[in-house]
Structure 1
Amino acid sequence: MEEVTFDPGLIQAIFKHIWTRRALEREKNEGNDGTDCEVGTGTLKKTRTTSANSNALKLSCELLRIFITEAVQRSAMIAEAEGAGKIEGTHLERILPQLLLDF
């Protein structure tokens, strides 16, 4: 049985949103003085589009699935140790520093 994972289209849309926002912030911070930084033959940094191939999207989906599954499991262990019936934000806050170090 195949495990449920994130939709690659959703992850790609999130990535595109972040890439677009960062490009706009970079333009704003650099100022719009009309000088473009050349990156390669025939491409300009400001006009070049960023994309991800399908294998990278699948891998990103799997990494997110594993990360979230681990976060829920660790939070559930903390909640169970405290005798709580459900996971609360405080449980997630307690496991988050070590989880981020592990990933």
Structure 2
Amino acid sequence: MEESTFDPDLIHAIFKLEWSRRSLEREKNESSDAMDCEVDAGTSKKSRPMSANANALKLTSKLLQIFVSEAVQRAATIAEAEGISRIEATHLERILPQLLLDF
């Protein structure tokens, strides 16, 4: 049975959103810096399109799937130790610091 993974198109859309956000932030910072100092005509940065390799998107999707699976397994262990049959937000909060250090 094949494990379900995150859709690479979804990951690509998330990346594009983040790239756009950072680009706008960079432009905002550059425009405020330009007001403070004199800028030559050829020194401005052009917005360049960002893209991701299809294999990189597949790998990112798989890594995200592993990360979420590990988080659920660790939270389930904590919930089971407490005698609870459902994972709650507090269980995820407790495992998150170590999970982030492990990844």
TM-score greater than 0.5 by the shorter chain:
yes
Q: Which runs of no fewer than 5 residues in structure 1 stay unpaired?
A: 38-45
Give the corresponding residue for 1:9: 9
1:36 pairs with 2:69: no
Give the corresponding residue for 1:19: 19
Give the corresponding residue for 1:92: 92
1:23-43 CA distance string (max 9 Å, x none): 001111121647413xxxxxx
Structure 1 Cα separation of the partners of residues 44 and 83 of structure 2? 59
Look up the equivalent residue of 1:63 and give its one-letter code: L
Give the corresponding residue for 1:75: 75
Rg bigger for which structure? 2
Q: Would the aligned equivalents of 2:23 and 2:47 in 1 still touch at CA under 8 Å?
A: no
Structure 1 Cα separation of the partners of residues 20 and 47 of structure 2? 11
The two structures have a TM-score, normalised by structure 1, of: 0.86
Identity of aligned residues (%): 69
The two structures have a TM-score, normalised by structure 2, of: 0.86
Q: Which runs of no fewer than 5 residues in structure 2 stay unpaired?
A: 35-40
Offset at residue 3 of structure 1 (A): 1.3
Paired positions, count: 95
CA RMSD of aligned residues (A): 1.4
Q: Which protein is richer in strand relative to its size?
A: 1
